[in-house]
A and B are shown apart, each in its own frame.
Chain A
Amino acid sequence: MPRTLTINGQEVSAGNEQTILEAARDANIRIPTLCHLDGLTDVGACRMCLVEVVGSNKLLPACTTRVQEGMEVHTDTERLRAYRRQIIELLFAERNHVCAVCVANGHCELQNLGIAVGMDHVRYDYLFPRLGVDLSHERFGMDHNRCILCTRCVRACDQLEGAHTIDVLGRGARSLIVRDMNVPWGESTTCTSCGKCVMACPTGALFKQGSTVAEMVHDVEKLAFLRAARERKVWNV
């Protein structure tokens, strides 16, 4: 039973199980996201996709909110733009994101959003935490300095590969992505070296070893493809 709603004044038709994000995409309306990845469940964590819904005094995350008949959604107000800019600035200040020397320079979702929100400076104090780099795996590397804790890698490993090698240590700003019981990646006994976590990562935190500056391109579409292929049982072999 399709639903009709308006997004930014435009009338949009959506399926009744669709989220605002999906409905907007179908109507070619772009809402910024970071922790969302096609093929993985949504967690509503980054807060970049928050939208204003008339009648609700709370901002709602487009990625997890299902459409309702007659909803009136605004995705690009001045207030939302200001919030998105602040969130991106908080991320840049939180860890060490130095594009000029990063493998993902030019192919980074965080960088793209930085440009999209018009970030020309960061108003917050840079925290410069001293975080590690794990190169113990023969093919892949993890640089915690570039991690934004979006947990796309956690979900990819859990939902698409089924290994659940990756989880989060601690909580709050002290959180860290870990494998098994916080062992070096190369010593993980559950990792299958499938590389899905590397595909899923939006920044230069996860990368293929041997990539130099600006060479790391994440193949995110492959994950959506794998999920769709499994669900629809495309291969008859």
Chain B
Amino acid sequence: MTNTLTPPGRPVGDGAVAVKPDDRLAADKRYKIIEATMRRYGYQGHGLIEALHSAQEAFGYLDDFTLKYITRALRLPPSKVFGVATFYNHFTLKPQGVHTCVVCLGTACYIKGAREVLSAIESGHGVKAGGTTADNQLSLLTARCFGSCALAPVITFDGETIGKVAPQTVAGQIAQRLATSALR
């Protein structure tokens, strides 16, 4: 069995030219951020979660290539890295849309109608929780509590907290933000 931990150059979905792994590492500056994190922990295994955080923040999700890169750098078994990446809610292995909206389903928000808020966004934008709209503009996620319970129900849009939302108006608020950013 050949050692294929180093992924061979293969065509990427959008028609871009196949690149050898080292080329991609060199070409994409974001890998330097991840490298810096791993170096801070002496490339030891206990820095895995911090490394995954860096990667998630830099790329928006953890793709196969990046996971393998971290696996090699930290000298961990690939299954272990994969097991950790899939255990935690925060990490996602699927690419996200241009914008992300997270609906809080914590207790205080739930009592104040978070379920209806979620349904309103789902029907208003044609996307289910955990998915992305067809035009890749909006990803809809749920979370268990942001700790801003006094503003219940709460959603975030690209990290910005929006409190006291209502099912009747929330889809419109999001549409407005999508339109504003499209104009820029």
Contact = CB atoms under 8 A, between A and B. Distances in A.
Interface of A: 163-171, 178-182, 189-190
Contact of A189 (B3, B64, B82, B87): B3
A178 B83 CA distance: 8
A166 B3 CA distance: 17
A147 B151 CA distance: 44
B4 A164 contact: no
A164 B80 contact: yes
A165 B77 contact: yes
What DSSP secondary structure best describes chain B's contact surface?
Answer: helix
Interface of B: 1-5, 64, 67-68, 77-83, 86-87
Contacts of A166: 79
Contact of A169 (B3, B68, B77, B86): B86
A77 B79 CA distance: 41
Given A167-B80, A181-B67, 14 more contacts: A163-B77, A164-B77, A167-B79, A167-B83, A170-B86, A180-B78, A180-B79, A180-B82, A181-B68, A181-B78, A181-B81, A189-B2, A189-B3, A190-B79
Contacts of B64: 181
Given A169-B86, A170-B86, A171-B87, A179 B79 contact: yes
A190 B78 CA distance: 8
A181 B86 CA distance: 10
Contacts, number: 45
A182 B78 CA distance: 9
Summarize A's interface: helix, strand, loop or mixed.
loop
A169 B83 CA distance: 5
A189 B5 contact: yes
Nearest to A165: B79
A139 to B, nearest CB: 13
Contacts of A165: 77, 79
Contacts of B82: 167, 169, 178, 180-182
28 contacts: A164-B77, A164-B79, A164-B80, A165-B77, A165-B79, A166-B79, A167-B77, A167-B80, A167-B82, A168-B87, A169-B82, A169-B86, A170-B86, A171-B86, A171-B87, A178-B79, A178-B82, A178-B83, A180-B78, A181-B64, A181-B78, A181-B82, A182-B82, A189-B2, A189-B5, A189-B78, A190-B77, A190-B78
A62 to B, nearest CB: 28
A123 B81 CA distance: 38
Contacts of A179: 79
B45 to A, nearest CB: 11
Contacts of A163: 77
Kindly name the residue among B68, B81, B83, B86 whose own CB sees the greatest number of chain A CB atoms within 10 A: B83
A189 to B, nearest CB: 5
B87 A181 contact: no
A166 B78 CA distance: 9
Contact of A181 (B1, B2, B3, B79): B79
A178 B64 CA distance: 15
Contacts of A168: 83, 87
Nearest to A174: B86
Contacts of A171: 86-87
A223 to B, nearest CB: 19
A186 B80 CA distance: 18
Contacts of B2: 189
Listed from nearest, the 4 A-B pairs whose CB atoms lie closest are: A167-B79, A167-B83, A164-B77, A181-B82
Nearest to B67: A181
Contacts of A170: 86-87
B12 to A, nearest CB: 17
Nearest to A162: B77
A170 B83 CA distance: 7
Nearest to B71: A181
A118 B3 CA distance: 49
A170 B86 CA distance: 5
